[in-house]
Amino acid sequence: MQIQVNSDNHIQSSARLEEWVRTTVESTLERYEEDLTRIEVHLRDENGDKPGPHDLRCQMEARPKGHQPISVSHKADTLEQAIEGAATKLDHALEHLFGKLRGKRAVTQKAAAASAPDALLQEEFLENEQDLQARRA
């Protein structure tokens, strides 16, 4: 899973900040590592140089293999809270997506298993029908 970190002009990006973001995202989403190709993290100061409550925003976009991207964002007073909040929201969104997929897979497998005995009975019926017709001839 590739993690890409972007920030606007008002947030001083550093190797230390990027490593902390990667570590936070990896530890929160490690159970989806095989299912995701990339995660993009966008850090932004909504008010620029002006101070204000909840003006730091973290947007995360996950790219699940074979599915549409999932995007979440979180605003907070600190960059740490914004990143952790977005990571938690993304974890919940991915759990929802993969939970729905597991549910669909289980229903499909259950339907296939239920129709299998019918197919065997139908095959047996057709064999018996052919034997009966052969005896009549």
Residues 5-24 pLDDT 10s: 998 877 877 899 999 999 99
Q: What is the average per-residue pLDDT within 66-83?
A: 94
Q: Residue 60 in contact with residue 29, Cβ under 8 Å?
A: no
Q: What is the average per-residue pLDDT within 50-60?
A: 81
In this prediction, residue 123 carries a pLDDT of 73
CA nearest neighbour of 24 among 54, 56, 58, 49: 58
Report pLDDT digits (tens) over 28-40.
999 999 999 999 9
Q: What is the average per-residue pLDDT within 97-126?
A: 67
Torsion of CA 71, 76, 80, 84, to 10 degrees: -40
Q: What angle do CA 67, 61, 51 make, to 5 degrees?
A: 160
In this prediction, residue 109 carries a pLDDT of 60
What is the C-alpha to C-alpha distance for residues 137 and 125, in angstroms, rounded to an integer? 19
% of the chain at pLDDT higher than 90 = 54
% of the chain at pLDDT higher than 70 = 80
Q: Is the pLDDT reported for residue 108 higher than 80? A: no
| Extended beta strands in the chain, E state | 2-7, 36-45, 56-64, 70-76
Angle between helices 15-29 and 79-136 (to 10 degrees): 40
Q: What is the pTM of this model?
A: 0.70
| Domain ranges, ordered by start, for the chain | 2-135
Q: Is the pLDDT reported for residue 91 higher than 80? A: yes
Alpha-carbon distance values, 137 to 27, 47, 119, 129, 133 (Å): 73, 90, 27, 13, 6
Q: Residue 16 in contact with residue 54, Cβ under 8 Å?
A: no
Residue linked to tokens 């900040």:
17
Q: 2-135 in CATH: which number?
A: 3.30.160.100
Q: What is the average per-residue pLDDT within 98-108?
A: 69
Q: Is the pLDDT reported for residue 45 higher than 60? A: yes
